[in-house]
């Protein structure tokens, strides 16, 4: 495992303000510096998607070289407010983390040169701190009645379900559908669709109150058509986004040049069509571990023809996935040779130990920065030195190089992802028209 270069840090520096010195200073020297109020909201979502404050976190304000200027505890409302005289700031959120492995650990998220007036968001992950007391979930079968089709190939729903059964040519049962709502609020409206090689049928259902016969009855009130397109030899995923939910998500296999598009239903006018495809350059084992390199393009558009034209790059841009020459031991990195990509999201999973028990405690640290820069992971955080330091190995390294066709410069990227709260492209529900290209590089020890 490669190691971090041990660097010193500046503990608890006071924010400096500009001031005049001596006589004969200019008028500018006598002016009070402009102050900015940086605000971060820390949240955790429950099973219904309801966000509540998360306070088991802190924020480190840092200079552009990631040296620590000040430390701030997030309050019981999940908020931290920091007054600064800097127009742009670096900061790191450090939060308690507990994921699927049930190990109590930490997550760190660092952001480089954010406009200090931006309202930042952090979404925590901690299985023990979820509050599902206001979340109501129910599970039943859904029976979809639709126009006759004797060759149903698949069933799709925006709700979670275990499987489907074709009862006859015009009736399909969705098994064990789960729907959740915040207590006292409306149920979400979910889609239920079936399709064959030529057409599809979709119905919507919103009232998920328990029924005596244990099923919800749904009737089709929309349809889909078969659409042909030109494409490369790669799998593609397609979906629609409306009502802030993803619908009709399915994979179109590489051998196929047609798919069913649900282009006629009551939400069609508000739907955004999304498609994504990967081009894999390399996935193999090496002396350094398991390595991989792929490109991905994701298209969001009100026109499904635009989304189906998705085309990830087949040029690997000479990205070094073997020796990782773009990232130096000092933490300096340079992916500027990758054309038109403006942001580098770089993540480490540290092989850390709990300082009290010496048990494994993997720590995830992610940096959002420009395509060329300095990683924050080489700067020790006060009070955290016993967990992450120059002797801590790295088990997983991941690099995501981003190009949004609708963004012109790095500042748009960093402000957008700071406000968003670190959701990846496929989790974003607010994009209405954009093409996003990414390169993914991964090393697993």
Count of beta carbons in the 10 Å neighbourhood of residue 43: 15
Which pTM value belongs to this model? 0.90
Same domain, 261 and 290: no
Kindly tell me if the per-residue pLDDT of 8 is higher than 70: no
Same domain, 138 and 176: yes
Can you tell me the distance from the alpha carbon of 202 to that of 174, in angstroms, rounded to the nearest whole number? 13
Kindly tell me if the per-residue pLDDT of 307 is higher than 70: yes
- What pLDDT is attached to residue 28? 55
Last residue of a domain, one of 236, 270, 304: 270
Same domain, 186 and 208: yes
Kindly tell me if the per-residue pLDDT of 289 is higher than 90: no
Q: Which of 25-39, 68-82, 222-236 shows the lowest per-residue confidence on average (mean pLDDT)?
A: 25-39
What is the residue-averaged pLDDT of the chain? Answer: 91
DSSP state string for 54-118 = --SEEEEEE-TT--EEEEEE--TTSEEEEEES-SEEEEEEEEEEE-TT--EEEEEEEEEEEETT-
Same domain, 195 and 244: yes
**Are the CB atoms for 381 and 60 separated by under 8 Å?**
yes
Kindly tell me if the per-residue pLDDT of 409 is higher than 90: yes
CB-based contacts of 138, cutoff 8 Å, min separation 6: 178, 179, 180, 208, 209, 210
Domain encompassing residue 213: 134-270
Strand partners, 394: 350
Q: Which pLDDT tens digit goes with each residue over 239-262? A: 999 999 999 999 999 888 899 999
**Are the CB atoms for 185 and 48 separated by under 8 Å?**
no
Q: Which pLDDT tens digit goes with each residue over 390-406? A: 889 999 999 999 999 99
From the centroid of its chain, how far is CA 410? 18
Residue 126: DSSP 8-state: B
- What pLDDT is attached to residue 12? 34
Cβ burial of 227 (10 Å; 0-12, 13-18, 19+) is middle
Same domain, 242 and 166: yes
Can you tell me the distance from the alpha carbon of 386 to that of 381, in angstroms, rounded to the nearest whole number? 10
Please give the tally of structural domains in the chain.
Answer: 2
Kindly tell me if the per-residue pLDDT of 374 is higher than 90: yes
Last residue of a domain, one of 220, 238, 270: 270
- What pLDDT is attached to residue 90? 98
- What pLDDT is attached to residue 241? 97
Kindly tell me if the per-residue pLDDT of 5 is higher than 60: no
DSSP state string for 147-165 = S--S---EEEESSB-SEEE
- What pLDDT is attached to residue 4? 43
Kindly tell me if the per-residue pLDDT of 334 is higher than 50: yes
Same domain, 315 and 360: yes
CA-based torsion, 95, 416, 424, 250: positive or negative:
positive
* Mean pLDDT in residue range 234-241: 95
- What pLDDT is attached to residue 26? 52
Same domain, 62 and 182: no
CA distances from 425 to 23, 289, 343, 402, 414 (A): 55, 27, 13, 10, 14
Closest CA to 136 of 83, 87, 180, 202: 180
Last residue of a domain, one of 243, 270, 297: 270
Same domain, 266 and 278: no
Kindly tell me if the per-residue pLDDT of 14 is higher than 60: no
Same domain, 403 and 383: yes
């Amino acid at each position: 495992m490669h190691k971090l270069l041990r660097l010193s840090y500046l503990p608890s520096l006071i924010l400096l303000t500009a001031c005049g010195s001596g006589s004969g200073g200019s008028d500018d020297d006598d002016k009070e510096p402009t102050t900015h109020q940086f605000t971060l909201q820390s949240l955790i979502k429950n099973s219904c998607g309801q966000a509540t404050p998360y306070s088991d976190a802190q924020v480190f304000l840092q200079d552009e070289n990631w040296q620590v200027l000040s430390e701030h505890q997030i309050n019981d409302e999940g908020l931290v407010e920091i007054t600064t005289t800097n127009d742009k700031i670096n900061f790191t959120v450090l939060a308690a983390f507990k994921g699927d492995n049930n190990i109590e650990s930490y997550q760190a998220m660092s952001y480089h040169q954010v406009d200090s007036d931006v309202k930042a968001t952090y979404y925590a992950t901690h299985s023990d701190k979820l509050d599902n007391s206001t979340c109501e979930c129910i599970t039943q079968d859904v029976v979809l009645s639709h126009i006759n089709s004797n060759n149903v190939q698949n069933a799709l729903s925006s709700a979670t379900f275990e499987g489907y059964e074709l009862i006859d040519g015009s009736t399909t049962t969705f098994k064990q559908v789960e729907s959740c709502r915040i207590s006292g609020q409306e149920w979400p409206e979910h889609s239920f669709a079936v399709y064959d090689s030529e057409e599809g049928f979709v119905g919507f259902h919103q009232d998920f109150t328990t029924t005596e016969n244990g099923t919800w009855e749904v009737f089709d009130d929309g349809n889909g058509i078969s659409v042909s397109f030109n494409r490369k030899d790669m799998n593609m995923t397609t979906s629609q986004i409306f009502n802030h939910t993803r619908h009709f998500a399915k994979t179109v296999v590489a051998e196929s040049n047609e798919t069913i598009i649900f282009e006629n239903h009551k939400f069609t006018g508000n739907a955004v069509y999304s498609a994504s495809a990967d081009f894999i350059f390399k996935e193999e084992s090496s002396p350094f571990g398991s390595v991989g390199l792929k490109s991905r393009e994701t298209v969001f558009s009100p026109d499904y023809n635009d989304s189906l034209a998705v085309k990830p790059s087949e040029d690997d841009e000479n990205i070094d996935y073997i020796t990782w020459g773009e990232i130096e031991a000092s933490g300096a990195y340079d992916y500027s040779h990758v054309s038109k990509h403006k942001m580098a999201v770089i993540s480490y999973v540290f092989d850390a130990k709990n300082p009290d028990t010496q048990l494994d405690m993997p720590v995830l640290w992610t940096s959002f920065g420009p395509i060329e820069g300095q990683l924050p992971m080489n700067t020790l955080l006060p009070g955290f030195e016993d967990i992450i330091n120059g002797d801590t190995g790295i088990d997983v390294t991941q690099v995501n190089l981003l190009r949004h066709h609708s963004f012109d410069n790095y500042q748009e990227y960093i402000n957008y992802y700071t406000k968003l709260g670190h959701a990846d492209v496929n989790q974003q529900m607010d994009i209405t028209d954009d093409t996003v290209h990414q390169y993914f590089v991964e090393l697993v020890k």
